Structure 1
Amino acid sequence: MRILILGCGWLAESFAMDMKHQGHEVWASTTQYEKYHRLKTDGIFSFIADFDQGHTLSNVLLPDRFDFVLNSIPASQKNSLSGLEVRFSNISRFLENIQWTKQLFLSSVGIYPDKDVVYHELESAGIEFSEKLYLAEQQMLALPNTYVYRLGGLFGKNRIFAKYFANRICTTGEQLANFVHLDDVVRLISLASVKDLRHAVYNIVAPMHPKKKDVILASARKYGLDLPLRFEPGDHFQKVVSGSLLQKEFDYQYIRPNPLEF
């Protein structure tokens, strides 16, 4: 299988190495020269591409056909809406000269508002989606054979939830965790590359939703990290993002279903 990865960040690099070890041909873009050289050393066909600077992309020579495209270019909240329009228009133009069997775009459950709601992908009426994430999803879904994974809060390897609250005040402890482990995301991306998908959009979230406070305490204990200075009341909406649609479709058992054990 020939795979193209756009935006070879932390998650995508794990997927790239997994696919390379399985014997697949992997091409991957990065904006960083250090990563470009590291990927090449690891046997990945890497290239530099900055989709905020579209004019630099014409020099990239790629095969014209891929079996699977993993599009991991983020729609970051720090970018302006107009900046994101440019970024994803450049991606669309870049892909005009490439054919693929399937493209998977990685989005985020941050697209859903913070309310006391259980969110399912097939129930979108009346939801005020994040404007930036929705823009990115719609621009990518306009491309052929494209699907979206909305990822929960992503942890694994050196990403440990308690690290972000050590010796700090935590005001989000009563919120529910909509998290997912790197191991499951890599596996579910791999399955998407070979299995049929029945819907355009899927939530990728571990099936258990403990309170964030309990996840912090459990991961601090597990990894020997400092606790927060204290927990204070804050926004304690009970937002739950369900990942059951793809779980049922693939008959998938999560490797790490419980964020308390991440």
Structure 2
Amino acid sequence: MSPPKSVAIVGCGWLGEALAVHCLKQGVEQVKGSSRHSERASQLQQQGIDTQVIDLPASRSHDLQQFLAADVCVFSLSPSTPGYIEALTQTCMHLPTGARLILLSATSVYPDCNNEVDEDTFIDAHNTNNPTQWQAERLVQRLVSSALIVRLGGLMGYNRFLLKYFLNKESITGADTPVNHIHRDDAVHILFRLMASDVEKGTFNAVAPMHPLKKEVLEAQARRLGITLPPQVAPYKQAFKKVIPKRLLQTLDYQFIYPNPTDFPFDLP
């Protein structure tokens, strides 16, 4: 396995920036990132990322085509971005011949079936929990011959940790529901491993292999912060799925840095 010579990251946000910096450290010769805002682009430029201000969907297709001139393109825009599907369509249509596309998707495409799911679990437009993301996956499979779809679990680590989202809540629901999380460091390493591999296409779940209950993660983080959790209230167990990274483990033999979300390190607020 050898790293690509050039990478273009469409939507260089919290994960995209970390991936870009990692690519530079691993010797990728040209790492490009896009942002919709000039101030953000300047911040990325200071990290050594060749940054371009592109507001997708782009009115000037020539600018997009120049930006996408790379061995690997990572599409990292959020599905909540206005014009998301159109932006993805433009990206697919302007990829250079021979380039691989990596679509950052989400484990939320799986239905809440109260069971384990993996990459072979059947999903369609009727049972998916995330119709926009599912539509994006189908679009990429139809338009791009060399496409990898990476379904990320809930991204955690650094300034993102589960308890942060409950600090101002009066109560906790779904405490007995298992989580599907991944630490950003693992997400970055998985994406880079896929870039450097000879895998041309396929769908991969990028999620920690262990699925503690929400309350177990919250209790561990509360102990670290020395605070008392809000009370747990019904419904204690909500509809769920346990997302298994089966294909990732089989294809890459990936060893997780942080396999248990209960042990994820995070920055103290």
TM-score by length of 1: 0.89
Corresponding position of 2:50: 45
Corresponding position of 1:3: 7
Cα separation, partners in 2 of 1:3 and 1:225, compared to 1, 3 Å:
farther
What RMSD, in angstroms, separates the aligned Cα atoms of the two structures? 2.2
Corresponding position of 2:26: 22
State the Cα distance separating 1:49 from its structure 2 match: 1.2
CA–CA separation in structure 1 for the residues paired with 2:226 and 2:162: 10
Match of 1:70 among 74, 80, 84: 74
Letter in structure 2 aligned against 1:27: K
- 1:82-231 to 2 correspondence within 5 Å? 83-93=83-93, 95-96=94-95, 98-124=96-122, 128-129=127-128, 130-141=130-141, 142-168=143-169, 169-197=171-199, 200-222=202-224, 224=225, 226-231=227-232
Unaligned runs of 5+ in 1: none
Q: Judge conservation of contact 1:65–1:99 (CA < 8 Å) in 2.
A: no
Q: Judge conservation of contact 2:146–2:201 (CA < 8 Å) in 1.
A: no
CA–CA separation in structure 2 for the residues paired with 1:245 and 1:61: 32
State the Cα distance separating 1:34 from its structure 2 match: 1.6
State the Cα distance separating 1:148 from its structure 2 match: 0.2
CA–CA separation in structure 2 for the residues paired with 1:151 and 1:253: 16
Q: Judge conservation of contact 1:208–1:259 (CA < 8 Å) in 2.
A: yes
CA–CA separation in structure 1 for the residues paired with 2:241 and 2:102: 25
CA–CA separation in structure 2 for the residues paired with 1:102 and 1:225: 46
Q: Judge conservation of contact 1:207–1:257 (CA < 8 Å) in 2.
A: yes
Name whichever of 39-48 and 125-134 sits farther off.
125-134
State the Cα distance separating 1:200 from its structure 2 match: 1.5
CA–CA separation in structure 2 for the residues paired with 1:48 and 1:198: 29
* Superposed CA offset, 1:199-249 (max 9, x none): 511111111000011101112222x16444211112523421111221121
Cα separation, partners in 2 of 1:67 and 1:227, compared to 1, 3 Å:
farther
Cα separation, partners in 2 of 1:64 and 1:231, compared to 1, 3 Å:
closer
Letter in structure 1 aligned against 2:220: A
Q: Judge conservation of contact 1:161–1:216 (CA < 8 Å) in 2.
A: yes
TM-score by length of 2: 0.86
State the Cα distance separating 1:35 from its structure 2 match: 1.6
Match of 2:41 among 36, 44, 51: 36
CA–CA separation in structure 2 for the residues paired with 1:59 and 1:261: 43
State the Cα distance separating 1:109 from its structure 2 match: 0.4
Q: Judge conservation of contact 1:69–1:100 (CA < 8 Å) in 2.
A: no
CA–CA separation in structure 1 for the residues paired with 2:98 and 2:136: 19
CA–CA separation in structure 1 for the residues paired with 2:182 and 2:79: 19
CA–CA separation in structure 2 for the residues paired with 1:134 and 1:125: 8
Q: Percent identity, aligned pairs only?
A: 28
CA–CA separation in structure 2 for the residues paired with 1:87 and 1:162: 33
Aligned residue pairs: how many? 254
* Superposed CA offset, 1:157-200 (max 9, x none): 11111111114121121110111111111111110011133751
Cα separation, partners in 2 of 1:108 and 1:87, compared to 1, 3 Å:
same
Secondary structure at the residue paired with 1:66? coil
State the Cα distance separating 1:100 from its structure 2 match: 4.3
Secondary structure at the residue paired with 1:106? strand
Secondary structure at the residue paired with 1:62? helix
Cα separation, partners in 2 of 1:86 and 1:102, compared to 1, 3 Å:
closer
